[in-house]
Amino acid sequence: MPIHRPRTVVSDPGASPFPAAGEHAPLSGLDEFLIHNAPFPVRVMWTPDAQAYERVWFTCQDRVGELLAVIGLAFYPNLGTAEAFAIVNVRGRHTTVRAHRKLATDRMDMVLGPFSFEVVEPFRQWRLRLDPAASEHGIGYDITWLDTKRPVFRQLGAGMIVGGRAVSPVAGYDGFGRQEGWVESAGERFTLSPATHLGTRDHHWGTRDGVGGPGRYMGMQHPHSGEWVEFEELGIWGDHVLYNIGDARRRSATLARRVHRMRFEPDTHLLRSGEVDLVFADGSVKTMTFERLGNQIAFLRCGLYGGPNGGTPDGDLWHGMAVAQGDEVVVHGETFDVNDPAVRSRLAGQDQHHCRVECDGEVTYGLVEPYDTLCYEVAKAGVMGFSLLDPAT
């Protein structure tokens, strides 16, 4: 009878610390632990819905308008696919790298081609890496992510029905942080430090409209997701109010309402600047103003975020679509000059605009996420709490 010897220590950060042989699939090494919430292995999703997903997301932006990076990793258990992407915008040079493979049995394996995601300390520190040589598209990074605001679990969208179909709630948490390390683009390296670079992150799971391709898209689309902005004492993540790690307020808060007044580019109708009234639960109101820094935009269609404008600009790829065959990893990407208005119009969709933000005399730098140009149409119509600002004001 064969005797199993102690496992070999995993040396590649981001790989599963508890690997198991494929002969045990769908069981993974994680299934040895007492962690199950349903009568299935961890690899098996609680719902048969093809649009089930789980995703982590990170951003890194400076305070001067030269560097914006958006990074994501997603698993689609019922489609059997996994993908990662990175968007790096340097003064309007917008480069994307995407990687695809079949989903492994072990969902703790967060290495995907040239990408690596590593939990160093839960809710405190991650390490994110993209090998610039392996990516073959001129971008790379080695980022230490350090949490500053307290991530708090919550559910969104419970009880929603779209097109006669029940949509499961999305669960997860979000947060803010600082970064150390470096980001490289076209041979130019940027050194990151907590004094000069900040960002937001989230981790969500559930089901999402459009996962699997345009044939699975029911048309759900917010004209404006919100603002992801961190101030010294609190962070505004859409309608979620987050507090510093260690703050005496033990949980988080939710805004009662947001009222937006926005200004758009006259030729492209992409968001340019604006202001939003933040109405807190106690009735108090703070007005937050924002203005985009140059053309520092992350066009998320390039990161597979499909919607009314389609998926990726070239190929119309959406989240979860099967790109890799067998055991291969497919890596691809492109670079656009988004200083060109015609290019911005072509790429527009769910977009992250890097902005200078001010509220109560405090200045910071964060992200504003509309769906361009749907947001303009809604503001022009003056509905859903959105309106246009006079271009001259």
- CATH number of the CATH domain containing 234: 2.40.370.10
Residue pLDDT, tens place only, 293-344: 999 999 999 999 999 999 999 999 999 999 999 989 999 999 999 999 999 9
Instruction: Assess if residue 241 is contained within a domain.
Output: yes
Percent of the chain with pLDDT over 90: 73
CA distances (Å), origin 308, targets 57, 128, 275, 301, 305: 22, 31, 25, 11, 10
Average pLDDT over residues 125-144: 92
215 half-sphere exposure, CB direction, 13 A CA radius: 4
CA 218 to chain centre: 21
Buried b (16+ CB within 10 A) or exposed e, 318-353: bbbbebbeeeebebbbebbebeeeebbeebbbbbbb
Residue pLDDT, tens place only, 82-97: 999 999 999 999 999 9
Instruction: Assess if residue 5 is contained within a domain.
Output: no
Say if CB 320 and CB 361 are below 8 A apart.
no
- The residues facing 132 across adjacent strands are none
Q: What tokens appear for 31 in the block?
A: 């299934």
Kindly state the DSSP code that residue 101 receives in the 8-state scheme: E
Q: What tokens appear for 234 in the block?
A: 């609190």
Rounded CA gap, 388 and 375, in Å? 10
Residue 105: pLDDT band (50, 70, 90) is confident
Number of domains in the chain: 1
Residue pLDDT, tens place only, 112-132: 999 999 999 999 999 999 998
Pairing of strands 386-388, 257-264: parallel
Rounded CA gap, 289 and 362, in Å? 11
Instruction: Assess if residue 158 is contained within a domain.
Output: yes
Residue type, 221: Q
Rounded CA gap, 59 and 178, in Å? 10
Instruction: Assess if residue 3 is contained within a domain.
Output: no
Instruction: Assess if residue 6 is contained within a domain.
Output: no
Expressed as residue numbers, the domain containing 310 is 22-388
Please state the pTM of the whole predicted model: 0.92
Helices (H) and strands (E) in the chain, counts: 3, 25
Average pLDDT over residues 65-79: 97
Instruction: Assess if residue 334 is contained within a domain.
Output: yes
Which segment, 18-32, 48-62, 147-161, is predicted with the most confidence on average?
Answer: 48-62
Q: Which residue has the higher pLDDT, 200 or 40?
A: 200
Which uninterrupted H or E stretch holds 144?
A: strand 139-147
DSSP-derived secondary structure for 191-228: EE-TTT-EEEEEEEEEE-TTTT-GGG------SEEEEE
CA 264 to chain centre: 24
What is the predicted pLDDT for the residue at 4?
A: 44
Average pLDDT over residues 183-211: 94
Q: Which of 8-17, 79-88, 163-172, 363-372 has the lowest mean pLDDT?
A: 8-17
Distant-in-sequence contacts of 124-129, Cβ < 8 A, 24+ apart: 124/245, 126/58, 126/201, 127/13, 127/14, 128/58, 128/71, 129/13, 129/14
Which uninterrupted H or E stretch holds 133?
A: helix 132-135
Contacts of 27 (CB under 8 A, 6+ apart): 20, 41, 43, 105
Question: Does residue 39 carry a pLDDT above 80?
Answer: yes
What is the predicted pLDDT for the residue at 393?
A: 47
Instruction: Assess if residue 246 is contained within a domain.
Output: yes
Instruction: Assess if residue 297 is contained within a domain.
Output: yes
Average pLDDT over residues 198-204: 95
What is the predicted pLDDT for the residue at 22?
A: 79
